[in-house]
Amino acid sequence: DVMGAVKRKIFSTDKSSDEYLEVNACGIEYINKTDRGSDRPDGRSDYHIIYVEKGVCNLFWKGEWQKVPAGGIVLFRPRETQKYYYLREDNSVSHYVHFTGRGCEAILKRLGIWELRVFDMGKSRSFEETSEKMVREFAMRKPMYMDWCTAYLYQLLNIVARKYALRRGNVSKKGESRINDACKKIYENIPTKKRIE
């Protein structure tokens, strides 16, 4: 039906943009009632990030199925095949962002995550909180909401990039936690300068 096809086209979030960086869609899915997934042989025209907060994402990658656990990141480039699913019994929680823009490639390269596809960065409360803020902003659509969403997206990419850089530098999740604890103690114990009167 032609009208149905036109309506689907109009309301699709799959688009490219001349903006430098733009969020097409974002959300948090709670998969506990029905199995859910996607099978896009030709992918989408935008970039797509998945972060598994809880449960597991079953991903078809490099010719085989693999499990992406909680704390896992998947980054699809435009037109890459996307094939993954969640089972309701795993009670998974998944964050997703679709984004586009002429600056995407340059940003991902500058952050050192251009080659990243599947990455176990570990559970990240900062990622989850930033994602929640972005999803809320996108849903409420207040003035300048797209600019806020872009700012949150840039934060998310930086969180992933920092974790990726640490893992590539052979810093384990446990090591990262110890470093963070040490830095926090140092920061909290820096004496504050007294105001000169």
193: DSSP letter: P
Phi/psi at 101 (5° precision): 130, 155
State the CB neighbour count (10 A cutoff) for residue 120: 14
- The pTM of this model reads 0.81
Residues of the chain with pLDDT under 70: 1-12, 169-197
Tokens coding 128: 């989850």
Residues 118, 51: contact at Cβ < 8 Å? Answer: no
Strand residue runs (E) in the chain: 22-31, 36-40, 47-54, 56-61, 64-69, 72-76, 82-86, 92-100, 118-120
Residue-wise pLDDT tens digits, 125-142: 999 999 999 999 999 999
